[in-house]
Amino acid sequence: MRRYLKRWEINGAQLAISRHDSLLYARGFGFSDISRQQPMEPSQIMRMASVSKLVTAVGIMKLRDMGKVRLTDKVFGPQGILNDTFYVNSIRDKRHFDITVEQLLRHKAGFTNYAGDPIFSTRYIMQQNRLATPPDHRNLLRIVLRRRLGYTPGTMQRYCNIGYTLLSLIIEKRTGMSYEKFMQRYVLEPAGCFDFHIAGNYLKDRRPNETVYYMHSSSEPAQEFNNSGRLVERCYGENDITTALGAGAWTASAAELCRLVAAIDGDPTMPDVISPEAVRLMTQEMPDHQYSLGWNYTPNGRPWIRTGSLVGTSAIVLRYPDGECWVFITNTSTWKGHEFSKDTMALFEKLRKRFGSKLPKRNLFVK
């Protein structure tokens, strides 16, 4: 692991491994704060980027179990979940009224990044709409709804973050709670996860148990997302991460991510926080490489995959058919972006072959 981190210029990372819902291994490598020479601890939390989408999908499935949401529910329109006239009156492309909750989950709702990812294009949205301050969720959504969809909902898929921010707002609308509080109270804490939090945007916003984030050596400063004109380190101010909510804003440790997977994987060792039917729906193999619910892909006989990449972090969750779950999170961007996940998957395969039989039988979840 140390050689791997050195090869990719990663300052700090965590690796956690569970088997049949029992945590076998959790360790930090490198540094959580280089300036203070603080080693990475396995209990510290880090941004997990798009692995956050898995968390959000579990929240939607929990609402489904509670009878508050159906996957076939329409999102917009008089009979939709987000039926405020504030939203409805913004819609120009009537195909918006056909979007369902499931289509948001599977990136099939018609949204694209053709005009830029709305979640990570705040500065350009402010310029185009002559805004003095970054838009809140309501105003951002109103701006997005004025645009034409890139395709008819349900006819194809295009990965787009705005769908999972919308799912976060659906959770708020149907529960009357903030997205973060609902997830903590009804999903995360029942799963035994007590240190999941929505990330802040700047170094000053980090929690006492959170690491510092770093860019790779070739990274250049970027314009601050709020159009201030300031140049900032990309991991601290280029993007409005907090506003992404369930699309990419969660922080947690690798060990607690293992714990969450143990609560949604159908393995009877630890009780799941969602119903068996919800687990089945989330993990059924989809044809033609279509996205699963929350997971990237859940192929039969191969690992379920969830990855995430964002300035300052990379994260990957692999849940194998033999019951093992491997989670790896870094506090440093890599120059290779999403390709880093493929290299990490290959590393996991080597490590599993070499060390899988040597991992002790224990459960670090139990104190």
Residue 366 lies in a domain: no
> What pLDDT does 362 receive?
87
Q: Do 244 and 347 belong to one domain? A: yes
Q: 37 lies in a domain?
A: yes
Q: Is residue 363 part of a domain?
A: no
**Does 150 share its domain with 185?**
no
Same domain, 211 and 143: no
99 and 191 part of one domain: no
133 and 260 share a domain? no
- Whether residue 195 sits in one domain with residue 164: no
Residues 240-295: tens digit of each pLDDT: 999 999 999 999 999 999 999 999 999 999 999 999 999 999 999 999 999 999 99
**Any domain includes 40:** yes
Q: Which two tokens stand for residue 322?
A: 């033999």
Same domain, 286 and 313: yes
Q: Would 306 be classed as within a structural domain?
A: yes
pLDDT 10s digits, 209-248: 999 999 988 899 999 999 999 999 999 999 999 999 999 9
CA–CA distances in Å: residue 199 to residues 36, 48, 136, 240: 22, 9, 16, 10
- Domain end (from 110, 144, 177): 177
190: phi then psi, degrees, rounded to nearest 5: -60, -25
* Rounded CA separation 212/190 (Å): 28
Answer yes or no: do 112 and 189 share one domain. no
Q: Note whether 122 and 134 are same-domain residues.
A: yes
d(CA 134, CA 139): 9
Tell me, what CATH number does 96's domain have? 1.20.58
User: Beta-strand (E) ranges in the chain?
Assistant: 12-19, 22-33, 38-39, 46-47, 197-198, 222-223, 231-232, 250-252, 304-310, 313-319, 324-330
The one-digit pLDDT tens for each residue of the chain (367 residues) are: 999 999 999 999 999 999 999 999 999 999 999 999 999 999 999 999 999 999 999 999 999 999 999 999 999 998 999 999 988 999 999 999 999 999 999 999 999 988 789 999 999 999 999 999 999 988 999 999 999 999 999 999 999 999 999 999 999 999 999 999 999 999 999 999 999 999 999 999 999 999 999 998 889 999 999 999 999 999 999 999 999 999 999 999 999 999 999 999 999 999 999 999 999 999 999 999 999 999 999 999 999 999 999 999 999 999 999 999 999 999 999 877 667 889 999 999 999 999 999 998 889 998 6
Residues 170, 93: one domain?
Answer: yes
CATH of the domain at 316: 3.40.710.10
Residue whose token pair is 């005009």: 115
* Structure tokens belonging to residue 214: 């770093």
Contacts of 267 (CB under 8 A, 6+ apart): 20, 21, 323
Which of the listed residues 130, 154, 177 is the one where a domain comes to its end? 177
Under DSSP, the state recorded for 187 is I
Residue 200 domain flag: yes
Residue 91 domain boundaries:
61-177
Q: Rounded to two decimals, what is the model's pTM?
A: 0.97
Residue 190, in any domain of the structure: yes
Total number of domains in the chain: 2
Residue finishing a domain among 177, 201, 228: 177
Instruction: Check whether residue 103 and residue 153 sit in a common domain.
Output: yes
45 contacts 193 by C-beta, under 8 angstroms = no
- Complete edge-to-edge strand list for the sheet that includes strand 197-198: 46-47, 250-252, 197-198
Residue 295 lies in a domain: yes
Could you give the CA distance from residue 366 to residue 336 in angstroms, rounded to a whole number?
Answer: 37
Q: Which residues of 129-150 are buried (b: 16+ CB within 10 A; e: fewer)?
A: eebeebbeeebbbbbbbebebb
Q: Could you tell me the two tokens for 200? A: 């802040």
DSSP conformation class of 332: B
Say whether both 188 and 319 belong to one domain. Answer: yes
- Tell me how crowded residue 356 is: count the other CB atoms within 10 A of its CB: 14
Burial of 357 (0-12, 13-18, 19+ CB in 10 A): exposed
